[in-house]
Amino acid sequence: MKRIMRIAALVLALLLATILFAGCASTPTVDVIKSRGKLVMLTNAGFPPFEYVSEGAVCGVDVDIAREIAAELGVELEIQDMDFDGIIGAIKSGKGDLGIAGMSVTEERLKNVDFSVNYVDSKLVILVKDGNTEITGADTLSGKKIGVQSGTTSDVIATGVDGAEILRYKTFLDAATAMKSGKCDAVVVDEMTANEILAVNKDIVMLEEVLSTEQYAICMRKGNESLQEVVNTVLNRLLAEGKIDEYIANHMASGE
């Protein structure tokens, strides 16, 4: 009888250990992050001023925010640069703690991840080469080649244009380069990133029409309320202190 009890106790212990291990592997809670000693940020470093590479390091508005969150948790920040359209899936599978990449909140994304409070308002605009008289707004995009960053809301908006051919790139900077070389006719992009592109490309112009307005937030695995609470606390503090506007000003090459 004692042997049976010992075996039952061992089986129960193994079962509990398996459950705990699975929870740690799949849900990066605050306790797991603290015990690990690092916060893993997933991003796409081709979206200035929010994330870009300078002197071999990823920096930008979102990196400054992530460092504040890591400091609040008392851990180091690890940044993983990846394709934008892979971030949601990587967060779902537990490969990172936070997706911070100038990411807009959409109904489709909310089916897969949870989001923080909004921290930036943005607009989608159209870029064309200077001298392009054929494209004057959204109603003239039909039949044109439109460059976008794959998996973004710009991709969604452009895909809704009747008769347009959508050319998808890893970054908006790649899309702008393609437009300069004549591979596409226009680029649909977030306004602040558009201003960064304009700052270093005098032969590109922004049309006045705003295609949509949206908000950026930080995504994390569904149900991770402890991490969401910390992230929201930090974001609300930064917003109240005017720090996010300060970060944007610091990272804007255009000086705006």
User: What's the pLDDT score for residue 219?
Assistant: 98
117 CB burial (10 A radius; 0-12, 13-18, 19+) = middle
> What pLDDT, on the 0 to 100 scale, is given for residue 220?
98
The domain at 123-214 falls in which architecture? 3-Layer(aba) Sandwich (3.40)
Residue 27: predicted pLDDT: 59
What pLDDT, on the 0 to 100 scale, is given for residue 2?
A: 46
Q: Does 123-214 match 19-119+217-251 at the fold level?
A: yes
For the chain (length 256 residues), average pLDDT per consecutive 10?
46 42 56 96 96 96 98 98 97 96 95 97 96 96 97 95 96 96 97 95 96 96 96 98 97 64
Superfamily per CATH, domain 19-119+217-251: Periplasmic binding protein-like II (3.40.190.10)
- All structural domains of the chain with their residue ranges: 19-119+217-251, 123-214
